[in-house]
Structure 1
Amino acid sequence: MIQMLKAQCTAELQRILRNPYYVFWSLLMPILFYIVFTRIVNTGVEDASWWKTHYLMSMTSFSVMGSSIMTLGIRMVQERSNGWATFLRITPLPGSVSFLAKMAGQTVMHLFSIVVIFLAGFLINGVSLSAGQWLACGAWVLLASAPFLALGTIIGSMSRVDTASGVSNAVYMILAITGGMWMPIDILPKVVQRISVWLPSYQFGNGAWAIVHGDAPQIKGILILLGYLAVFMVLSMYIRKKQEAV
């Protein structure tokens, strides 16, 4: 069983690295945004050092959230539409091992994204944090991405790749903008601000922002993320059971 899991994890990692969605949305786009909004565009923030650190965490969260929703979700739809999921069912590989390998592979790629974007922040803007802060931020982004992985499995239950791509793009962009990842929510309309604090994307980014500014993630934010995780997991399992029953 362990050997099967290792082999499947290796295969999943190779497939993710070949996926253009991962390379673009999870690595190139966040780093490009980081350069534009910290080196080119004058955002008007008085404390440039604060902004460069804050926005680094925004783009790291943005990257991992996108990988969870789009890379995972679209890949799952592609597997089913290409008949790969059906083929796996007639092999000795248990479905639980395949799913576990998929989650493990995605988690490893999240860790890779975190390291790459943190390194970009250090090299591009000289972002300086204590070792404890770097580790705490990395651990937070890695663990708190769980609700978006669950959301990715819901996207992955769709029947068509183009539908999944369109829906995941829309969900990803809306969550990023309203969650304050592209710009602070303070400049958004008041109505949007009141909604934003209840969104998983805001609480996801807010935990990392709190750590780099010397605080700890709020208990309220953790509970909101756990609530979304539970809802998305239940919904994903319900959809899959219905699909299997057909």
Structure 2
Amino acid sequence: MNAIMTQCKFEMIRIFRNPYFVFWTLFMPILFYFIFTNIVNTGVPDQGEWQAYYLMSMTTFSVMGSAIMNFGIRMVQEQTEGWSTFMKLTPFPSWAYFTAKMFGQLTMHLLSIIIVFIAGFLINGVSLTIDQWLFSGLWILIASIPFLAIGSLIGTMKKVETAGGVSNIIYLALASLGGMWMPIRIFPDFLQKVAEWLPSYHFASGAWEIILGNVPDWRSFLILIGYLIVFMLLATYIRGKQEN
């Protein structure tokens, strides 16, 4: 257990030193939140509701970026630098190493949630009940796991440059088409139908429902679990083929 906790500590230090984490996970979501709730005139009559809604959008945007980009690219870096091979030669079991990586990444997700929530409160004085703060944060933390599966799949790539380019495309496409930047109701009908099958939409949708006093839709649970299973199986299969 001590070895796992030590590895978790190392993982968190490495994440903080990663410029992708600071830029995409913290700076960009907070900047977007400020711009679209204080500078851009969205024409929304209830500004308080919009500020809370968009805070959930930017928090999920932040956490999704950390899961897809930081986690996936870091795995490719470790592979190309020989770190993964070195760890296989140590007594530290591979399952414990992967557990430490997952735990460290989820800890960063929790930290991102807290920081973006605090930014929303400081910038706009977003007011939610304690239950809404807690349950929306818990939903975002748990529902981020399928995006770690996407990060694991990206982590099977051979080159850091390729992983960086692909993860950027996936991240930005999921964010824009999933309604994290702007509500999908302003999309054309066919794009709305596409959005309703994307994990990013259901990730953010759960948080939106919670701040409205509802519970996440059951379809959101099923679709996120489905994506988790598919991407974990793909990542496991590809990694197994690479090791043979």
* TM-score class, shorter: over 0.9
Q: Provide the rounded CA distance (Å) in 1 between the counterparts of 2:125 and 2:212.
A: 16
Q: Work out whether 1:13 is the aligned partner of 2:23.
A: no
Partner residue in 2 for 1:161? 160
Q: Provide the rounded CA distance (Å) in 1 between the counterparts of 2:22 and 2:90.
A: 30
Partner residue in 2 for 1:146? 145
Q: How far 1:87 moved relative to its partner?
A: 1.1
Partner residue in 2 for 1:65? 64
Partner residue in 2 for 1:134? 133
Q: Provide the rounded CA distance (Å) in 1 between the counterparts of 2:218 and 2:5.
A: 36
Partner residue in 1 for 2:220? 221
Write the letter of the residue equivalent to 2:37: T
Which consecutive unaligned segments of at least 5 residues does structure 2 have? none
Runs of 4+ in 1 over 6 A off after TM superposition: none
Q: Work out whether 1:37 is the aligned partner of 2:36.
A: yes
Q: Provide the rounded CA distance (Å) in 2 between the counterparts of 1:15 and 1:41.
A: 36
Q: Provide the rounded CA distance (Å) in 2 between the counterparts of 1:159 and 1:183.
A: 34
C-alpha RMSD over aligned residues: 0.6
**Secondary structure at the residue paired with 1:148?**
helix
Partner residue in 1 for 2:80? 81
Q: Provide the rounded CA distance (Å) in 1 between the counterparts of 2:218 and 2:185.
A: 21
Partner residue in 2 for 1:51? 50
Partner residue in 1 for 2:199? 200
Partner residue in 2 for 1:236? 235
Q: Provide the rounded CA distance (Å) in 2 between the counterparts of 1:224 and 1:130.
A: 28
Partner residue in 2 for 1:106? 105
Q: 1:63-109 CA distances to partner (integer Å, 9 max, x unpaired)?
A: 00000000000000000011111111111211111100000000000
Q: How far 1:226 moved relative to its partner?
A: 0.6
Write the letter of the residue equivalent to 1:9: C
Q: Provide the rounded CA distance (Å) in 2 between the counterparts of 1:54 and 1:48.
A: 10
Question: What TM-score results when the alignment is normalised by the length of structure 2?
Answer: 0.99
Q: Provide the rounded CA distance (Å) in 2 between the counterparts of 1:226 and 1:86.
A: 31
Q: Provide the rounded CA distance (Å) in 2 between the counterparts of 1:126 and 1:213.
A: 17
Q: 1:18-67 CA distances to partner (integer Å, 9 max, x unpaired)?
A: 01000111000000000000011111111111110000000000000000
Partner residue in 2 for 1:188? 187
Q: How far 1:174 moved relative to its partner?
A: 0.4
Aligned residues: 244
Q: Percent identity?
A: 59
